[in-house]
């Protein structure tokens, strides 16, 4: 009897696989008309599809002419709406074309899942009418987004503090920068709120509260050397950013020399966001392999998901001198049963001048043996060459950067790790040149 069990299971597996294929074929047949229509129609010209009809409860309108003119179109798989069930984050790849420049790839984001977007609509309606459903446009004019009107000269910290990670502890200097660099207005360049139209002010505040990623990209632009994707524009609830390249995870099993170079760049990003000439510390609160991408030509690592970035103004901290402000803050390593988890205190990040959070986040979630992603452990620097593994220096630095044994050990380890990775990258380049 037992001899036939594997045969029966094999037949059952083949039958189930056949049923699945037949089922998919039937679904395709039933949706043939819709399938062809999806390929023929450019849904990005549909005001309702991109939620332009919900403005000013939206993220902007600077790219609406490009959308309406059909200059932006989904790539092949993005046109198939029945695949949206797998696209929980609502991130799409598209082609953008200019008559003289040709076409190039861009990334479109709704900045949230369908559920999150529905919840923001309900919150707006409840604040305005007490009911979960309402006329969204009319409701916007009865919310806090509209109360900050043209009579208000500046966007001030006490008004927006805590709305999102970007403004968990905002300074006036940061908010002036956000308003001055706001890209969804024709008259950008002024930090005065009164220079924005009513709808533009509401869109700015809506973005700040719901998902401030566009404002991070605008306030700290790639054109000025910040390691973020370039912001292009928005129409309704669809934001366009520059396509950077493949996600960092695609390089997990790349040649050792390539992984060393990527690791060096990641540590450089951690340093730049922590210590820079502007005295803004940008702390990455969500660090995973999916939130970074690598340029195909220059091999440059870029942050492609900037929703959870906390910005602390070091000048304000030095000025206000909160308790223990000049005591170095060490992030605490904690074991957890989830992927890409981090331990941090937002209030501590906001009140200390010297913080090791970004080094800790990169080392723990991306580089070291503690890094776990998609069921894989070992980090980007897994399986080093024999001579490097035998030396033991790399492993020791990664361990101290992730789980320090000495007080303030991570600060020194991160510095030495950057130097060591730079040496390894230089050695690899000279060996290749020979």
pLDDT digits (tens, 9 = 90+) for 228-238: 999 999 999 99
Q: What is the pLDDT of residue 189?
A: 81
Pairwise pLDDT comparison (35 vs 330), residue with the higher score? 330
User: What average pLDDT does the segment 115-130 reach?
Assistant: 93
Tokens, residue 291: 């939130």
How far is the C-alpha of 341 from the C-alpha of 182, rounded, in Å? 32
Assess contact for 393 and 420: CB atoms under 8 A.
Answer: yes
- pLDDT grade, residue 273 (50/70/90)? very high
Is a pLDDT exceeding 50 seen at residue 385?
yes
Written as six digits, the tokens of 36 are: 């062809």
pLDDT (0 to 100) of residue 166 = 98
Distance of CA 211 to the CA centre of its chain: 10
Rounded to the nearest integer, the mean pLDDT of the chain is 89
Is domain 251-433 given the CATH code 1.10.510 in the classification? yes
- Read off the pLDDT of residues 50-74 as tens digits, 9 standing for 90 and up: 999 999 999 999 999 999 999 999 9
Report helix, strand or coil for 242: strand
> 147 pLDDT band (50/70/90 cuts)?
confident
* Confidence grade of residue 5 (pLDDT, cut at 50, 70, 90): very low
Q: Report the pLDDT averaged over residues 130-154.
A: 87
In the chain, what are the domain boundaries?
251-433
As a whole number of angstroms, the distance between CA 370 and CA 403 comes to 9
Q: Kindly state the average pLDDT of the residues 370-393.
A: 93
Choice between 8 and 84, residue whose per-residue pLDDT is larger? 84
């Amino acid at each position: 009897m037992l001899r036939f069990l594997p045969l029966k299971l094999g037949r059952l597996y083949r039958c189930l696989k056949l049923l699945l294929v037949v089922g998919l074929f039937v679904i395709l047949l039933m949706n043939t008309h819709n399938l062809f229509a999806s390929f023929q129609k450019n849904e990005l010209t549909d005001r309702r599809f991109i939620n332009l009809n919900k403005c000013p409860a939206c993220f902007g309108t600077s790219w609406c002419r490009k959308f309406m003119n059909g200059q932006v179109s989904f790539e092949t798989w993005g046109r198939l709406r029945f695949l949206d069930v797998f696209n929980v984050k609502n991130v799409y790849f598209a082609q953008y074309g200019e008559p003289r420049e040709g076409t190039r790839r861009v990334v479109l984001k709704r900045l949230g899942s369908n559920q999150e977007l529905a919840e923001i609509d309900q919150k707006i309606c409840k604040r305005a009418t007490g009911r979960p459903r309402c006329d969204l446009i009319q409701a916007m004019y009865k919310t806090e987004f509209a109360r900050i009107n043209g009579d208000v000269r500046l966007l001030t910290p006490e008004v927006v503090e805590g709305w999102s990670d970007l403004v968990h502890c905002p300074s006036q200097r940061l908010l002036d920068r956000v308003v001055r660099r706001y890209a969804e207005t024709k008259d950008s360049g002024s930090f005065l709120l009164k220079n924005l139209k009513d709808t533009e002010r509401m869109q700015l505040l809506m973005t700040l509260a719901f998902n401030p990623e566009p404002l991070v990209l605008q306030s700290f632009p790639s054109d000025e050397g910040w390691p973020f994707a370039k912001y292009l524009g928005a129409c309704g609830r669809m934001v366009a950013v520059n396509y950077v390249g493949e996600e960092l995870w695609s390089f997990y099993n790349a040649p050792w020399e390539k992984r060393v170079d990527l690791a060096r760049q990641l540590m450089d990003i951690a340093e730049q966001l922590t210590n820079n000439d502007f005295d803004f510390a940008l702390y990455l609160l969500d660090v995973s392999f999916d939130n970074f991408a690598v340029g195909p030509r220059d091999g440059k690592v870029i942050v492609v998901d900037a929703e959870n970035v906390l910005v602390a103004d070091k000048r304000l901290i030095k000025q206000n001198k909160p308790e223990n402000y000049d005591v170095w803050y060490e992030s605490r390593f904690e074991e957890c049963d989830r992927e890409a988890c981090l331990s941090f205190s937002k209030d501590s990040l906001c009140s200390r001048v010297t913080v090791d959070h970004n080094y800790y986040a990169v080392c723990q979630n991306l580089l070291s043996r503690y890094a776990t992603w998609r069921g894989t452990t070992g980090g980007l620097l897994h399986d080093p060459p024999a001579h490097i593994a035998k030396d033991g220096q790399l492993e020791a630095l990664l361990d101290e950067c992730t789980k320090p044994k000495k007080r303030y050990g991570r600060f020194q380890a991160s510095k030495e790790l950057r130097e060591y990775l730079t040496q390894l990258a230089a050695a690899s380049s000279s060996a290749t040149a020979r």
